[in-house]
Amino acid sequence: MKVFLLALLEKISSDKFITALLALLTGVCLLYMPMLYFSFKIKITPYDPYINIAILTLGVGIGWVLGTFASPDSPKEGERFTKLGTAVASFLSGYVLSKTDKAIDKFVNNEASLSLINSFRVIEFVVGLLAATMVTYILREYVLRQIEQQTSNPA
């Protein structure tokens, strides 16, 4: 592990490394760790922490995919992502949006939906989604692209 980190440090310029390090530290320490902590503290039943962790994991997983879509490795991958994005957008704009209206009405008209645990779960999902998107995008766009450029054009 130490050899890998040293090799990585040699390949990445210091400003790119600092950017990547800040992205990781922000994503993991400042966002994920408090979410994990509160996932176990905000509960009504003994099963709530597990549901909270599952919602955070879902947000992180979707964010990871979005970060990957936002930073394709090659023009060919970008074309594939564009085609896939078009298909997903068509599906979401049609079927899912028609079903979302009923779910939003139930959520807004139900007083239990405004409870602390439900509000926390929405916030937890959004934080996981945004943090994972940010970390994935920064690492792929700045760090991996820098490594590829330096290995393909050695000085």
CA dist 85 and 79 (Å) reads 10
Q: What is the count of structural domains for the chain?
A: 1
How confident is the model over 44-49, as a mean pLDDT? 92
- At 83, the pLDDT band (50, 70, 90 cuts) reads confident
Count of residues for the chain? 155
Q: Which amino acid is at 120?
A: F
In a domain, 131, yes or no: yes
Q: Is residue 93 part of a domain?
A: no
Residue 89 in any domain: the answer is no
Q: Which residue has the higher pLDDT, 129 or 85?
A: 129
Distances (CA, A) of 22 to 19, 37, 48, 100, 134: 5, 21, 32, 36, 11
Residue 2 and residue 10: Cα distance in Å, rounded? 12
- φ, ψ for residue 43, nearest 5 deg: -155, 155
pTM for this predicted structure: 0.71
Structure tokens at 53: 């962790």
Q: Give the pair of three-digit tokens for residue 109.
A: 């008209």
Q: What's the whole-number mean pLDDT along residues 96-106? A: 71
Specify whether the CB–CB gap between 58 and 128 falls below 8 A.
yes
Residue 3 lies in a domain: no
Per the domain annotation, does 80 fall within a domain? Answer: no
Min mean pLDDT across 39-43, 114-118, 126-130, 144-148 is at 144-148
Which tokens in the block code for residue 134? 């940010």
In a domain, 147, yes or no: yes
pLDDT digits (tens, 9 = 90+) for 119-150: 899 899 999 999 888 888 878 877 777 666 66
Given a cut of 70, whether residue 112 has pLDDT beyond it is no
- Average pLDDT of the chain is 78
Q: Mind listing the pLDDT tens digit for each residue in 10-34?
A: 555 566 667 677 767 776 777 788 8
In a domain, 136, yes or no: yes
Q: Is residue 1 part of a domain?
A: no
Tell me which residue range forms the domain holding 127: 16-71+107-152
